């Protein structure tokens, strides 16, 4: 019966044409899907690298003061020297490494080199309890790792088109925030229950993985997709430069250019000083109050979760409020947070107060770069660098001062110095109100007021 069925003539022109049509469409679809998957995979390498890189920093930085205070048995002066020296050396290393890498265009080589050096540094720290050696290793071998985020974003800027790089930068910052949500709590738990030696071994095991991700990052020369819009970016950057040059001439003619940049930078440095000092003092506060130190990381995690949610949404407030008004509100929350913090040792109370700290930090992180880039439109990268350096300078001051605060301030007043710094920040806002004014941005970015 099967043999009686009509036979299909596979060689007819009509069938062959249809067959080729279907094959052609299938091949096009496969190529499109593979191309999209390739782009996603290449993009995701940057996000994975940003997350792993932030995990290293978010694991070590919160426990650094506890490491010196408990594991190395450092005095208050030695604690200040270590924290302040690390902040200073990291700023210097970041500046020098960035200049060298930008000059030769070897971002990936720089990332691999500082990852290997940091790996060696963590292995040494895992095998010593000598303060002098640990301080030397942290200041000379691990401090260069601070430049890794800048190098990663520099490589992303070379790889992605001018339009897409803004989205990539935002997502990279989101991965950094995600790391600060997860890692501090894990770090405090590990150092509490397995000790610092094993903690450093585990952290060092993350660096070869990070170096591998750095190695497979797509570079600027391999991206055909990002190369297409460059000719349009040249025209856009030329027009932006011409408009920005006019703005710069006006500032220079009126003698206000440096003032317009110095006042916000000073404000961010003071706020960073207050926040970083709090982060250094909180573990010491828990030790002196006989509270479970492992919960410090959980507190940082809760605050980071709130901060991530607010960072994403605070930009929308610029359609109704000015930068100056939002920073005043954030500063008021910061003053209230630092004053109220020592009033109770209840865990519920301490966790609830993190909402105030989240408002303070999220407004600075979510609006700070936008403000400085708006004040200096001809060099938006410089605006971002100025913001980061202002925060780094505040971290430097906090590192040097934290030991003296532990030494001379009673436990109930450990955070009063941070509250005083926030009052200074409010004074900067009041006296330099005009420096926080930014002209309205394009409709694509909404209405931004100063």
- State which fold the 229-450 domain adopts: Growth Hormone; Chain: A; (1.20.1250)
Q: Which CATH architecture has domain 44-228?
A: Up-down Bundle (1.20)
Reading the block at residue 346, the tokens are 């209840």
Contact 394, 91 (CB under 8 A): no
pLDDT tens, N- to C-terminus, the chain (450 residues): 445 555 555 455 555 555 555 555 555 544 444 444 344 456 688 888 888 988 998 898 888 888 888 888 888 788 878 887 887 888 788 777 777 776 777 778 888 999 999 999 999 999 988 999 999 999 999 988 877 777 777 777 667 765 455 456 556 766 777 787 788 888 888 988 888 999 999 999 999 999 999 888 887 644 433 343 444 344 444 444 444 454 455 445 444 556 677 888 899 999 999 998 998 889 888 888 888 887 887 888 888 888 877 877 777 787 888 888 999 999 999 999 999 998 988 889 999 999 999 999 888 877 877 777 677 665 555 666 677 778 888 887 887 788 888 888 888 888 999 999 999 999 999 998 887 876 544 333 444 445
Q: Dump the DSSP string for 371-402.
A: HHHHHSTT-HHHHHHHHHHHHHHHHHHHHHHH
Predicted local confidence at residue 38, as pLDDT? 46
CATH 1.20.1250.20 in the chain is located at 44-228, 229-450
Write b or e for each residue in 232-247: b if 16 or more Cβ atoms lie within 10 A of its Cβ, otherwise e. eeeeeeeeeeeebeee
Predicted local confidence at residue 35, as pLDDT? 45
Dihedral sign for Cα atoms in the order 141, 57, 46, 442: negative
Alpha helices in 289-346 (DSSP H): 294-314, 323-340
Predicted local confidence at residue 106, as pLDDT? 78
Q: For 73, phi and psi rounded to 5 degrees?
A: 55, 45
Q: Determine the 3-state secondary structure of 18 from DSSP.
A: helix
Of 308, 317, 438, 268, nearest to 370 by C-alpha is: 438
Dihedral sign for Cα atoms in the order 399, 276, 342, 182: negative
Predicted local confidence at residue 68, as pLDDT? 86
Question: CA 388, CA 365: separation in Å to the nearest integer?
Answer: 10
Q: Determine the 3-state secondary structure of 289 from DSSP.
A: coil
Question: CA 149, CA 391: separation in Å to the nearest integer?
Answer: 15
Predicted local confidence at residue 337, as pLDDT? 95
Predicted local confidence at residue 206, as pLDDT? 93
Contact 422, 320 (CB under 8 A): no
């Amino acid at each position: 019966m099967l043999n009686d069925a009509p036979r299909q003539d596979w060689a007819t022109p009509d069938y062959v044409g249809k067959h080729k049509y279907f094959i052609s469409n299938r091949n096009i679809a496969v190529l499109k899907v593979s191309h999209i998957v390739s782009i996603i995979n290449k993009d995701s390498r940057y996000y994975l690298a940003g997350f792993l890189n932030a995990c290293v920093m978010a694991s070590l930085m919160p426990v650094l003061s506890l490491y010196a205070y408990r594991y190395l048995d450092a005095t208050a002066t030695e604690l200040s020297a270590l924290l302040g020296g690390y902040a200073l050396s990291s700023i210097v290393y970041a500046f020098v490494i960035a200049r060298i890498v930008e000059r030769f265009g070897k971002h990936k080589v720089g990332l691999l080199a500082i990852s290997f050096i940091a790996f060696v540094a963590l292995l040494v720290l895992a095998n010593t309890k000598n303060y002098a050696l640990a301080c030397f290793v942290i200041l000379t071998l691990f401090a260069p790792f601070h430049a890794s985020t800048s190098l990663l974003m520099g490589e992303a800027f070379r790889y992605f088109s001018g339009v897409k790089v803004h989205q990539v930068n935002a997502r990279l910052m989101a991965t950094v925030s995600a790391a600060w949500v997860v890692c501090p709590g894990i770090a405090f738990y590990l150092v509490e229950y397995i000790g610092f030696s094993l903690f450093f071994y585990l952290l060092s095991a993350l660096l070869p993985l990070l170096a591998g991700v750095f190695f497979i990052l797509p570079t600027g020369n391999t991206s055909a997709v990002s190369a297409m819009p460059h000719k349009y970016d040249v025209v856009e950057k030329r027009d932006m430069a011409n408009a920005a040059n006019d703005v710069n001439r006006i500032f220079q003619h009126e003698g206000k250019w440096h003032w317009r940049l110095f006042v916000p930078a000073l404000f961010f440095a003071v706020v960073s000083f207050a926040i970083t000092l709090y982060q250094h003092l909180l573990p010491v506060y828990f030790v002196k109050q006989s509270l479970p130190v492992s919960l410090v990381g959980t507190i940082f995690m809760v605050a980071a979760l709130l901060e991530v949610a607010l960072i994403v949404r605070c930009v929308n407030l610029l359609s109704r409020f000015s930068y100056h008004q939002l920073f005043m509100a954030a500063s008021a929350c910061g003053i209230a947070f630092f004053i109220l913090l020592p009033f109770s040792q209840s865990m519920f109370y301490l966790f609830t107060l993190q909402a105030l700290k989240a408002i303070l930090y999220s407004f600075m992180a979510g609006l700070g770069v936008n403000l400085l880039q708006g004040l200096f439109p001809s060099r938006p990268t410089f605006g971002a660098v100025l913001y980061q350096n202002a925060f780094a300078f505040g971290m430097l001051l906090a590192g040097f001062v934290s030991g003296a605060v532990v030494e001379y301030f009673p436990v109930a007043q450990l955070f009063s110095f941070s509250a005083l710094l926030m009052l200074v920040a409010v004074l900067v806002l009041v006296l330099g109100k005009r420096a926080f004014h930014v002209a309205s941005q394009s409709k694509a970015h909404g209405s931004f007021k100063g």
